[in-house]
Structure 1
Amino acid sequence: MASAYSLSIGLNKVDPAHYNGWDGALNAPENDARDIHMLTKSLGYSGDLLIGNEATRENVISAINGAATNLKEGDMFVLFYSGHGGQLPDLDGDEFDREDETWCLYDAELMDDHLRLLWHKFAANVRILVLSDSCHSGTVIKLRPDGGRNSFTDYLPRIGVKTIPVELALSTYIVNKGFYDEYIRQVDMQKADLKDHEINATVRLISGCQDNQSSYDGTFNSSFTGALKIVWNGGKFSGNYTRFHSEIQQSLPSYQSPNHLVEGRSNAAYDHQVPFTI
């Protein structure tokens, strides 16, 4: 019988000591993470909840590595993140927009390229579902060289937007330049070593928005997580992942359009399952 594990991450604030005085205050992400944690637990998942100052880069990477070690063929892993998206410079030049997208964890940012490295650690045919309720998260699970070609479509006042402001993305990088340059260099070296290696797990992303859009905060839940909960309807939803994504998309305004993509080994059975199926 398959096993299932979920890791739910939510940050209402980050550590100003790392982010050049910015605490990134949001309202709903920690509640988002609690809700997804409870949803998966109700379905029989084992799981961990990392919120606030527990959602450090080390703790998140350690938990994902633990999942990669413990999950076997046919098992299920749900990785949920709610918080700010960020950017770091693309030093090896493999991104069209010359930026690597990040999750802003409590004490430091975690790059999309690093997440991609972690997928290589999972056994064949492990099913991974990543739900990323953050800005510019449309391709956070994989490299998309053309990811910056589309013009920015978010035209609303930037209130409750779940992204690190541009000027703070730069200043955070500058004040931590030695740390980030070495981090990026190490990830790029490992990525080059794995260039010709396939990801044997099946990694599915349903993101809060496209790469050129923003995700939005809310009162009780962030916009994407709130829409997901409405569509899930306490477990009454009976469609597959394509329909799940489509109905979430229909529940959100046009300026916030969730993405759905799959990386790694094809898995037709996974494609046709009801979301969160163990």
Structure 2
Amino acid sequence: MPRKKALIIGINYAGSNHELNGCWNDALNVRDFLVNERGFSPDPSDMVVMTDERKNQGTPFYPTTHNMMAAFQWLSSYNRPGDIVWLSYSGHGGQVRDPDGDRESGFDDTICPVDFERSGQINSDTLHRSIVSPMHPQARLTILFDCCHSGSACELPFVFRPDAQGNVNMVDTVKKGMGLVRAAQGLLEGGFSMNKINDAKMLLGGATDFFNSLRYKGGSSSKVDRDGLAEEKFEEHWETEGKDVWMFSGCRDDQTSADATIAGNATGAMSWAFLRTMREDPNQSYANVLQNTRKVLLNKYSQIPQLSCGGHYDLDQPIVV
């Protein structure tokens, strides 16, 4: 029989200068949704829940870099045809500069383990190689990332984004070039607009003071520039892998994702919107889920959710979770 397997991560960075409020609740809400409504087993051999609650300190369930990398290996290993696999992450997301010119924004997305100030962020290339590449091609992995700058966090080659009217458009992320670099150059040359100013601020890491403070502390091959952003060199050929991976992310690469309070409870806006959408109609297509999640967020939040895929798949097929 096909197996259902899940890794759920929620990090509040409790007691730090970067504390969030809703990520533990996101993890709990996702767990309840998967167990009570999608037939997942809560047995630790089938479902791993990682949070930085005090009770998890010193255990494999505390989301340090080391423990998260081990959990990614567990999730992506020993999968068989027909298996249904889930990964969700709620926490901080950041960016490091990409020198290769193959990212739309000029940056690689990252996620931040609880010990990121000591051990560094986990960049998008590492996430892809650790999670997506080892997956069995006939096992389906669904990813939900509720964090800032998450649009390309796993470097899936085909990205779909809904507009305000619900139309879903594909964004070509395979060797697209650095559009925002050109915008910044236009600003420097005097042909500026408010959009270009915002693009230039993002390009220079100026979205918030928090993201300016993020530093990648990886291996000796990392080179840090004057902005404090590390350069990671890699070559992408993800479009040839054809892995059955579907990722819902809370925002575009250049956006932040809201840590919200909804109905009196702290939660990530994307996690709340996605779960609400799935509960309203469990049998929607991937395109419908993306459109309806966008609709839920539209009136209160500026972030635009995205759907990324390991191949150029039919978005009208029913979602499998």
TM range (shorter): 0.7 to 0.9
Q: Deviations over 1:207-244 (max 9, x none)?
A: 101112111001221111111122122x7432111101
Compute the displacement of 1:201 (Å).
Answer: 2.3
Deviations 1:103-140 (A, max 9, x none): 01112311111111121111122111111101111122
| Residue 246 (structure 2) pairs with residue 204 (structure 1) | yes
How far is the alpha carbon of 1:165 from its aligned partner? 1.7
1:112 aligns with 2:124: yes
Cα distance, 1:94 vs structure 2: 3.6
Match of 1:38 among 23, 32, 35: 32
Matching residue within 100, 116, 134 for 1:121: 134
Residue type of the alignment partner of 1:225: S
Structure 2 counterpart of 1:215: 257
SS state of the match for residue 77, structure 2? Answer: helix
Corresponding position of 1:231: 277
Quote the offset at 1:75 in angstroms.
1.0
Aligned to 2:191: none
**Equivalent residues in 2 for 1:41-80, closer than 5 Å:** 41-42=35-36, 43-45=38-40, 46-52=46-52, 54-80=62-88
Structure 1 vs Structure 2 CA RMSD: 3.2
Residues 262 and 72 (structure 1), Cα distance of their counterparts in 2 relative to 1, 3 Å cut: same
- Structure 1: stretches of 5+ with no match in the other structure: 17-22, 155-161
| More moved, 49-58 vs 90-99 | 90-99
Deviations along 1:182-217, whole A, 9 cap, x unmatched?
A: 8x99x74xx54x748832421111110111211100
Q: CA 1:245–1:238 in 2, change beyond 3 Å: closer, same or farther?
A: same
Q: Which is further off, 143-152 or 44-53?
A: 143-152
* Cα distance change on mapping 1:164 and 1:9 into 2, 3 Å: farther
1:41-63 Cα shifts (integer Å, max 9, x gaps): 22232311011161122222212
Structure 1: distance between partners of 2:113 and 2:4: 24
Aligned ranges for residues 32-181 of structure 1 at < 5 Å?
A: 32-42=26-36, 43-45=38-40, 46-52=46-52, 54-108=62-116, 109-118=121-130, 119-142=132-155, 144=173, 145-146=175-176, 149=179, 165-169=210-214, 172-173=215-216, 176=217, 181=222
Q: Structure 1-normalised TM-score?
A: 0.78
* Identical-residue share of aligned pairs (%): 25
Amino acid in structure 1 at the alignment position of 2:251: C
Show the counterpart of 2:10: 10
Structure 2: give runs of 5+ residues left out of the alignment.
41-45, 158-172, 181-194, 200-206, 224-228
Shift of 1:147: 7.8
Contact 2:105 2:253 in 1 (8 A): no
TM-score scaled by structure 2? 0.68
1:44 maps to a residue whose letter is G
- Could you tell me how far 1:9 is from its partner in structure 2? 0.6
Aligned counterparts of 1:263 and 1:274: Cα–Cα separation in 2: 15
Q: Compute the displacement of 1:96 (Å).
A: 4.5
Letter in 2 for 1:33: A
Preserved CA contact (<8 Å) 1:206 1:260: yes
**Which digits, 9 at most, give the CA deviation of each residue in 1:80-119, with x for residues without a partner?**
0111111223255543543211001112311111111121
Matched, 1:257 2:304: yes
Which has the larger Rg?
A: 2
Specify the code of the residue in structure 2 equivalent to 1:255: S
| Residue-by-residue CA offset, 1:134-191 (whole Å, 9 max, x unaligned) | 111112221634486365879xxxxxxx98723212xx33xx3656828x99x74xx5
Q: Does the Cα contact within 8 Å between 2:94 and 2:111 map onto a contact in 1?
A: yes
SS in 2 for 1:250: helix
Name the CA distance, whole Å, in 2 between partners of 1:96 and 1:267.
21
Return 107-116 or 95-104, whichever deviates more. Answer: 95-104
Report the secondary structure of 1:226's partner residue: helix
Aligned to 1:70, what secondary structure does the other structure show?
A: coil
Give the distance between the partners of 1:238 and 1:225, measured in 2 at CA.
18
The alignment status of 1:244 with 2:289, answered yes or no, reads: yes
